[in-house]
Structure 1
Amino acid sequence: MHMIIVGCGRVGSTLAIELENQGHQVVVVDRNPAAFRRLGEDFTGRTLVGVGFDRDILTDAGITAESAVMAVTSGDNSNIMIARVARELFGVERVVARIYDPRRAAIYERLGIATVATVAWTSNRILRTILPHDGATDWTDPTSTYQLVERRITGALAGKSVSSTPAHVALINRHGKADIPKSDTLFQEADVVHLLATSEQISSFDAYLAGHEGAHS
C-alpha cells in the first residue's frame, strides 16, 4: 500500500520504518529536512520537505484515493487540516490524525477522521487503524477459542444491521463514544467495532466486509 506520513518526529519515523519493513511504499513529509535523520540510513522510502496540507506537496507525494495518510505533526490544527485535505480533496478513506487535545476527538470522528491521542502506544494504535486487518488481536481467552479484535466500518457497510454480520459485535465506538449494540443497531461509516468471536468467524467477517467493499466500489 502507498503510505504518506506527514511529520517525521518520534511517531512518524517509527511508523515509516515499520511500514517499510512490512513492504509498503512510504513517503515521509516534514517541513524540517533535519527531521529525516530519524529514519536512519537504511530507510529507502521517499522524503519531501514541505507543509503536509499543501495540495501540491501531497500530489508530489503520489496521493490517490487508495493511499493511506497519517498526520502526525506536533500540532492538532495542522493534523486535522492534513486529514481533511486528504479526505475531502483526494477522496482518501484511510486517514488518521494524531491529536494532543482529546476533547477534539469527537469532533474529528464526526468528520469521519480517525484520531489517536498522544499516549505511549500511539504508533501501534495508528498502525492498527491504518491496517485494520493485520491480524492483531486485543485479547484471547485461555482456551484460545475466542478472540477480541478491532475493525473499522467503511461506507460499504453503512446502514447494515449488526445482526447481519457473521461475527458477534461486542462494542461499537462511534464519534468517540463506546456503546454495546443491539441486534437491530445499524452500522455507520467510520464506526470502530470490537468483535468477540472465533478465528473462523473473524475470517468470515473480514470476507463479508471485503465483499461489500468490492460491491460498493
Structure 2
Amino acid sequence: MHFVVMGCGRVGARLAHDVEEQGHSVAVVDQNPDSFRRLGPDFSGRTVAGIGFDRDTMLRAGVDEAYAFAAVSSGDNSNIIAARVARETYGVQRVVARIYDPGRAEVYRRLGIATVATVPWTSREIIAELLPTDSSALWQDEAGRVALVELGPHGSWFGRPLEDLERATGARVAYLTRLGHALLPATGTVLQDGDRVFAAVELARRRAAIDAAAAEAEVEA
C-alpha cells in the first residue's frame, strides 16, 4: 500500500519510517528540502519538495494511488487544507490531520476528517507522568470525553444480566473475555464467574463506574 505524509518534522519523519518498516511505500512532502535530512540514509521512499496541498506536488507524491494520507506539518491550516484535498479531490479514504487547536480539531472531526489534537494529548500524557492519578482508563478519545475501562464486578453480579451492571454503573459494556476468548455481549448475556468486563463510560465518571461495579449488587425485590 502507498502512504503520503505531508510534513517532514520529527513526527513526519518517524511516521514515514514506521510505515516503511511495515513494508509499505511512502512519499514524504515538505516545502523545505532540507527537512528530508531527518529521514536519514536508510529511507528508501519518495521525497517531494513543494506545498502539501498543491496539485502537482500531491500528484508527484502519488496521492491519486494512496491508501492513506497524513498531514502532520506544523501548520493547522495547511494540514486541514491538505487533508480535505486528499479526501475530497483524490478520494483518499483514510486521512488524518494533526491539529494544535483542540477547538478546531473537534469541528473538523464533526466534518468527518480524523484529527489528532496535539495539545490536549500532550497535556494528558504529561499529567499522567506528573500526578498520582489512577490508570483506570485503558483508552480515551482525543476530546477527553469517553474512556474504555475494565470493570471488576463484585461476585454478587455473577449470574445476573449485563444490563443490570450497565444500569448500576452508567457504563456501556463493549466486550468481555471469557475463558481467554473475547466476545461481544448480546441481549440477555449473563455474567459468569471469571469474566473480564470492558466498558465505555464518560471519562469523568470512570472511577464512579468502577466503584459501582466493585460494590455488592443490590438484591432484586
What TM bracket, shorter-length normalisation? Answer: 0.5 to 0.7
Structure 1: unaligned runs, 5 residues or longer: 123-140, 142-147, 150-170, 184-193, 203-217
Structure 2: unaligned runs, 5 residues or longer: 123-135, 148-162, 164-172, 185-221
Q: Is residue 110 from structure 1 mapped to residue 110 from structure 2 by the alignment?
A: yes
Question: Contact (CA 8 Å) 1:65, 1:91: kept in 2 or not?
Answer: no
Aligned length: 145
1:74 alignment partner in structure 2 = 74
Question: Contact (CA 8 Å) 1:17, 1:39: kept in 2 or not?
Answer: yes
- Percent identity, aligned pairs only, is 57
1:74 is displaced (CA, Å) by 0.7
2:47 alignment partner in structure 1 = 47
Q: Is residue 18 from structure 1 mapped to residue 33 from structure 2 by the alignment?
A: no
2:58 alignment partner in structure 1 = 58
Runs of 4+ in 1 over 3 A off after TM superposition: 119-122, 175-180, 194-202
1:93 alignment partner in structure 2 = 93
Distance 1:103 1:55, change over 3 A: same
Q: Map of 1:1-40 to 2, 5 A cutoff?
A: 1-40=1-40
- Provide the C-alpha distance between the structure 2 equivalents of 1:35 and 1:70, rounded to a whole number of angstroms: 17
1:176 is displaced (CA, Å) by 4.8
- Provide the C-alpha distance between the structure 2 equivalents of 1:27 and 1:120, rounded to a whole number of angstroms: 28
- Secondary structure of 1:112's counterpart equals coil
Report the residue type matching 1:17 in the other structure: H
Higher Cα radius of gyration: 2
Q: Map of 1:137-148 to 2, 5 A cutoff?
A: none
Distance 1:66 1:30, change over 3 A: closer
Cα-to-partner distance string for 1:33-82 (whole Å, 9 max, x where unaligned)? 00000001000000000011112211121123652000001100000000
- Provide the C-alpha distance between the structure 2 equivalents of 1:23 and 1:195, rounded to a whole number of angstroms: 32
1:97 is displaced (CA, Å) by 0.3
Report the residue type matching 1:62 in the other structure: G
Question: Contact (CA 8 Å) 1:65, 1:93: kept in 2 or not?
Answer: no
Q: Map of 1:133-212 to 2, 5 A cutoff?
A: 176=143, 178=145, 195-198=174-177, 200-201=182-183
Distance 1:111 1:120, change over 3 A: closer
- Secondary structure of 1:115's counterpart equals strand
Distance 1:78 1:71, change over 3 A: same
- Secondary structure of 1:116's counterpart equals strand
Report the residue type matching 1:104 in the other structure: R
TM-score, structure 2 normalization? 0.57
1:197 is displaced (CA, Å) by 3.9
- Provide the C-alpha distance between the structure 1 equivalents of 2:45 and 2:119, rounded to a whole number of angstroms: 26
TM-score, structure 1 normalization? 0.58
Question: Contact (CA 8 Å) 1:71, 1:82: kept in 2 or not?
Answer: yes
Distance 1:43 1:120, change over 3 A: farther
Question: Contact (CA 8 Å) 2:3, 2:66: kept in 1 or not?
Answer: no
